Amino acid sequence: MSDKKQSRIRRHRKVAYSLLSLLVLTLVLPLIPYAVAEKDETAGKVFNPGTELWRDVRQRDRDVIGTTQMKSVDAGVLINEYGETWRHFRMQQLVPYGAALMGIVLSIILLFYLLRGPLRLQEEPSGKKIERFTVFERTVHWFTVAIFWLLALTGLILLYGRFVLIPILGADGFGITASACKEAHNLFGPTFLVALVLLFLTFVKDNIYARGDMLWLLKGGGMLGGGHVSAGRFNAGEKIWFWIAIIGGLVLSVTGLILVFSILGQSREIMGLSHVLHGIVALVVISVSFGHIYLGTAGVEGTLGSMTTGYVDEAWAKSHHDRWYAEVKAAEDGSDKIVDEPGLATEGKS
Amino acid sequence: MAAMKFYCDAERCIECNGCVTACKNENEVPWGVNRRRVVTIKDGEPGERSLSVACMHCSDAPCAAVCPVDCFYTTDDGIVLHDKDICIGCGYCFYACPFGAPQFPKEGAFASRGKMDKCTFCAGGPLPDNSSEEYRKYGANRIAEGKLPACAEMCATKALLAGDADMVADIYRKRMVNRASAALGKGFQLREQNIGSGVDLKGKVTN
Amino acid sequence: MFKHLVDGIFWDIALWVFTIGVLWRILSIFLVGNKKDLSVARTTGMTGAIAANISRFFPRSEMQSRTRLHVIAGYMFHLGLFALLFFAAPHILFVESQTGLSWPAMPYWAFIVTAQLAFVGLLLLWIHRVMDPVTRLISSADDHVGSILTFIVMLTGCMALLEGFEGLRVLHRFTVELLMVYFPFSRLMHAFMFIPSRAFTGAWFGRRGVKA
Ligand code: HEM
Ligand code: SF4
Ligand code: SF4
Ligand code: SF4
């Protein structure tokens, strides 16, 4: 009984397998000649030399660089694929978004100033001054500022002059302005690297992450909540600005140098990409610098003096940089070198 | 408004660089500047083809879009020209141009770019037509004299066509029909059948 | 219009004021004469004059660390400016057009590098002058005007680098004319006087057997 049943199942299975293999064979066998025969793609087609050529010219499937008698950069490339992307970036993205970024940062600062006003000292100015920046430190700072703004202004004129200045100066007038800006920008570019190195060497030791910086950040630097947060010589905000300036400046320098030395034979694509980085980083650093300038001048009472005369009021130091104040006081113990008259303080090493 | 265009017939170009020489000669361009160049694809391989390329006088010209001093303009003939009295030599047009047309003189050691120079379709520049100053800055103004570009006129195989876009397209279409029928292997040449021969080839187009 | 003035009458005025002013200043200093030297001469004074002229090129050893910035930036600025003034191709061409004299120019890249050195030096020196309370106190308006005018001349010069716009060349020349008119009446005269004044001090002390 069970035997009969089993043999029937076996028979059915055999039939099923045979049918299946037949099906597979009918599908596969006709393909064998294709697999064995040499491939001839043009067989049966009218060969059109044009399509192949234009696909290459257009760089559709691969980068095609032809040969030519001309020695200039990228002369062998018939169609520059990257050009449209770059055009789109500069005209549709960098120009409007850059303007928006600067505008937004400026409005936030203005709003903040109107709503919160400058940060006041916790106590009355004591009239006692302590040295915050040496002559050398201040020299390096203003040296960097001078070159940075020379570059930023000339760069911004190149970027926005077409929209803002041509209506005012006319095409010829702006041509002169733009040429002056471009030459000054290119010439001063490499000197920015010098400033950057000096800035780095002068200030890096106080801009390393230290305990307490995280807390300072979490409390928003005292800007949001109110009250002052403990900090060393530089607070976390200042440290972040330092590193933005250094790293951003380095990116600007490297990309800028690639753009200046167009004779090294780098391709358009490298230059276009350098310009993309250069433009983005420039606008970010400029925008952040607005915040830095605000905090250094109108934003925090009594700060500007630290970079002009080099001295700050003790009350200022206690409010904003209590741990630094304690360090200075501890170092001073015994030597008692409090100077009331900044004009007479000549200890600054230079 | 006409639209002046180039077309280079890859099936005819023999990479003789005659157009390059003609251009240099006609316009006396500065050293290191080549308004036109011939590029060979697959040099020495099957399917080798050459194309002569210069400024293509784009309808929506990328160079004009990115120029920080906005010194480009398009003439009534659809020719894209620029004003060297305003150009600052920044090189942006070169980054954006699809065809590598803009060229910069004075590329010695460390040198910055001079003012941009490119193919003018032999139409000079914004200065008075055929004045000596125009010639010095922009080269010949053959268009004002009723002539066509020197490069195309010089082309021995008539690979390089220059002229109004419609006419250039017309000539090229006829060539294509001829070639297609020849390729179909019937030995049948439209030209032999006297179809479309010659008649409008006397127009302003070099064939 | 402005261009014709700058290339014409302004230039003539500036050149005359400069030449006559400089000569007048130098002569008036030399015409003052020396006080009679009553001491017994230990040396001729010549050795002292030469020694002082040379030794002033190096910082005093006690001052080395304090004056490091002045020395480095000072040399960068003065050497850069000197090279720029006399060996930049456009300047040589200008002198040639005016006098027919010509000499080899430095290559373009050296021109740019010297300009950058000069700018870095000048900026550092001037900012340091303002930042250091001592130098700020002893600086008069003359020092600041001289520095700023020099900076402006260099800046307009670098802005005209493309040599493609007449307006920028004229602007540069105009600022040069301003500087030339200012020059004889200012401390910028040290460009002519530093050698004689070092020599005077050196000789004065040298005759007394003192190293200046
Ligand atoms: C550090 C060295 C720097 C170098 C070598 C440099 C060089 C250049 C070059 C070659 C260009 C192209 C413009 C032209 O060739 O005419 C450029 C554009 C520009 N640079 Fe810089 N740059 C430097 C630093 C900076 C800094 C610090 C800023 C701003 C804070 C800046 C902002 C800009 C801007 C906004 C543009 C215009 C981009 C455009 O028009 O699309 N650059 N720079
Ligand atoms: S220069 Fe380039 S982008 Fe401009 S019109 Fe000619 S081909 Fe087009
Ligand atoms: S090189 Fe001249 S034409 Fe080209 S984008 Fe710059 S300014 Fe315009
Ligand atoms: S049209 Fe004139 S300028 Fe342009 S490539 Fe031909 S010869 Fe040169």
Lowest mean pLDDT across B189-193, C109-113, C172-176: B189-193
Tell me, what's the pLDDT at B31? 79
Beta bridge partners of B73: B81
List per-residue pLDDT tens for chain A, 350 residues long.
567 778 888 888 889 999 999 899 888 888 877 776 665 555 555 556 667 788 888 887 778 888 888 887 888 888 988 899 999 999 999 999 999 999 999 999 999 999 888 887 777 888 888 889 999 999 999 999 999 999 999 999 999 999 999 999 999 999 999 999 999 999 999 999 999 999 999 999 888 888 878 888 887 776 665 566 777 788 888 999 999 999 999 999 999 999 988 767 788 889 999 999 999 999 999 999 999 999 998 888 888 888 988 988 888 888 888 888 888 888 877 555 544 444 444 444 33
Tell me, what's the pLDDT at A184? 94
- Tell me how close the Cα of C23 comes to any Cα of chain A, in angstroms: 35
pLDDT band at B112 (very low <50, low <70, confident <90, very high): low
At residue C48, does pLDDT exceed 80?
yes
Pairing of strands B4-8, B160-164: antiparallel
- Tell me how close the Cα of C70 comes to any Cα of chain A, in angstroms: 9
Ligand 3: lining residues by beta carbon, under 6 Å: B 67-69, 71, 82, 87-93, 102, 116
CA–centroid distance, residue B94 to ligand 1 (Å): 17
Q: Which two tokens stand for residue A12?
A: 């059915």
Q: Is the dihedral of CA A189, A195, A201, A206 positive or negative?
A: negative
List Cβ neighbours of A147 (8 Å cut-off, separation of 6 or more). Answer: A188, A191, A192, A195, C123
pLDDT band at B15 (very low <50, low <70, confident <90, very high): very high
- A56, A68, A78, B13, B98 from A59: Cα distances, Å: 5, 17, 9, 20, 12
Tell me, what's the pLDDT at B202? 37
Beta bridge partners of B4: B164
Beta bridge partners of A300: A119
Mean pLDDT of B39-63: 91
Ligand 4 touching residue B151 (CB < 6 A): yes
Q: Who among C107, C162, C164 is closest to B109 (CB)?
A: C107
pTM of the model: 0.85
What are the backbone angles phi and psi of residue B169, rounded to the nearest 5°?
Answer: -65, -40
Q: Which two tokens stand for residue C145?
A: 């005007």
Tell me, what's the pLDDT at A7? 85
| Residues written for chain B | 207
User: CA-to-CA distance for B195 and B118, rounded, in angstroms?
Assistant: 39
Contact B11 A49 (CB under 8 A): yes
Tell me, what's the pLDDT at A8? 85
How many CB atoms within 10 Å of residue C23?
12
At residue B74, does pLDDT exceed 70?
yes
Kindly list the residues from chain B whose CB atom is less than 8 angstroms away from the CB atom of residue A70: 34, 37
pLDDT tens-digit readout, B88-110 = 999 999 999 999 999 988 644 44
- The reply to whether B111 touches chain C by the CB within 8 Å rule is yes
- DSSP assignment of A111-124, as one string? HHHHHH-PBPPSS-
Mean pLDDT of C84-109: 91
Question: How many B×C Cβ pairs under 8 Å?
Answer: 22
Contact C123 A147 (CB under 8 A): yes
How many CB atoms within 10 Å of residue A201?
10
At residue B77, does pLDDT exceed 80?
yes
**Dihedral angle over CA of A313, A318, A319, A322, nearest 10:** 140
* Average pLDDT in chain B: 84
Contact C165 A176 (CB under 8 A): yes
User: CA-to-CA distance for B19 and C181, rounded, in angstroms?
Assistant: 56
Residue A101 identity (one-letter amino acid): L
Q: Which domains does chain A possess?
A: 34-79 (no CATH), 82-133+207-339 (1.20.950.20)
Tell me, what's the pLDDT at C61? 82
A186: exposed, middle or buried (Cβ count in 10 Å: 0-12, 13-18, 19+)? buried
- A53, A109, A312, C96 from B42: Cα distances, Å: 9, 59, 72, 53
Q: Who among A179, A310, A345 is closest to C162 (CB)?
A: A179
Nearest to A279 by CA among A106, A133, A91, A120: A91
The minimum-distance atom of ligand 3 relative to the CA of B66 is: 5
- Tell me how close the Cα of B105 comes to any Cα of chain A, in angstroms: 11
Mean pLDDT of C146-156: 96
Kindly list the residues from chain A whose CB atom is less than 8 angstroms away from the CB atom of residue B94: 268
Q: Which domains does chain B possess?
A: 4-167 (3.30.70.20)
Q: Are A181 and A165 in contact (CB under 8 A)?
A: no
List Cβ neighbours of A238 (8 Å cut-off, separation of 6 or more). Answer: A207
Q: Which two tokens stand for residue A171?
A: 């095409």
Q: Who among A142, A176, A181 is closest to C167 (CB)?
A: A176
Contact B115 C109 (CB under 8 A): no
Q: State the ipTM, two decimals.
A: 0.91
Contact C127 A188 (CB under 8 A): no
